[in-house]
Amino acid sequence: MRIERMTTEELRKALTRDPVVFLPIGATEAHGPHLPLGTDSLQPEAMADMLADRLGGMVAPPIRYGHHSSTRNMVGTLGVNSDTLRYLVRDVLESLVSEGTTKIVILSGHAGHVHMAALKVAVSELLEEYDVKVMLLTDYDIAREIQGELGVPEDDGHGGMVETARVMALAPELVREPRGSGEFVDQRYMMIPNPEICYPRGFAGRADLATPELGRRINERIADIIESIVRERMGV
């Protein structure tokens, strides 16, 4: 159930059940010529809806901006700096807690290092002041853990086979053709002013091999794994 679709009284009543609240955090970012800019938002929002249904939880209004490094100069990447992201997430979390939420799962569809670090700082600050349970993860990391068992090449990456398949399963009308193949060009620890050269085509992996069926399998496995962790760690 999406919180923004509820009334004040409906939300007040729902909170008496002490439900898990999912906060999807996405991004607006270039994902090659075949995927929409909202790819990193579509995925965690779908997972949050699915998990809320399974666990009797609720989904907070999503945040669709993140911090970007390697794609920041690409057309369509609209981001915020790490401090802005940290303060925004901290404020949203504090609002949820002040209304009685005690169990929060933050699902990020974007997995950039600085982006995730900002989220971790926001959660750490919250936990210093409030006695609540918070999980923070990116479903991208779980997808990476299971891609081998699903036959996805090890070098698959941003906008590649996994992400393309997942979007094909969630919103096939948003995936463009041709999909093709892209690569990540490793700069070997060098800090560079134009990081977009790491993605000559804007993505890495065999997007042309993605299928809706693979996407459905990935999405179901991710939901299964997260559900198991939430049940174990949050006593749902």
Q: pLDDT tens digits, residue range 107-127? A: 999 999 999 999 999 999 999
Residue range of the domain that includes 122: 3-234
Would you say residue 195 has pLDDT above 90? Answer: no
Sort strands 20-25 and 103-108 into parallel, antiparallel or unpaired.
Answer: parallel
47/26 Cα distance (integer angstroms): 12
pTM of the model: 0.96
In the numeric block, which tokens belong to residue 182? Answer: 């892209």
Peptide bond before residue 212 is cis, with ω within 30 degrees of 0: no
Total domains in the fold of the chain: 1
Is residue 96 over pLDDT 90? yes
State the Cα–Cα distance between residues 180 and 150, nearest whole angstrom. Answer: 20
156-167: pLDDT as tens digits: 999 999 999 999
Burial 72-97 (b: 16+ CB within 10 A, else e): bebeebebbebeebbebbbebbeebb
Q: How does DSSP classify residue 7?
A: -
Between the CA atoms of 33, 35, 37 and 43, what dihedral angle is there, to the nearest 10 degrees?
-160
CA pair distance 104, 132, nearest whole angstrom: 8
pLDDT of residue 10: 98
Residue 5 parent element (H or E): none
Q: What is the mean pLDDT of residues 100-109?
A: 98
DSSP state of 69: S
Sign for the pseudo-dihedral over CA of 87, 231, 137, 129: positive
What are the phi and psi torsion angles at 35 (to 5°)?
-115, 150
Can you give the CATH number for the domain in which 122 is found?
A: 3.40.50.10310
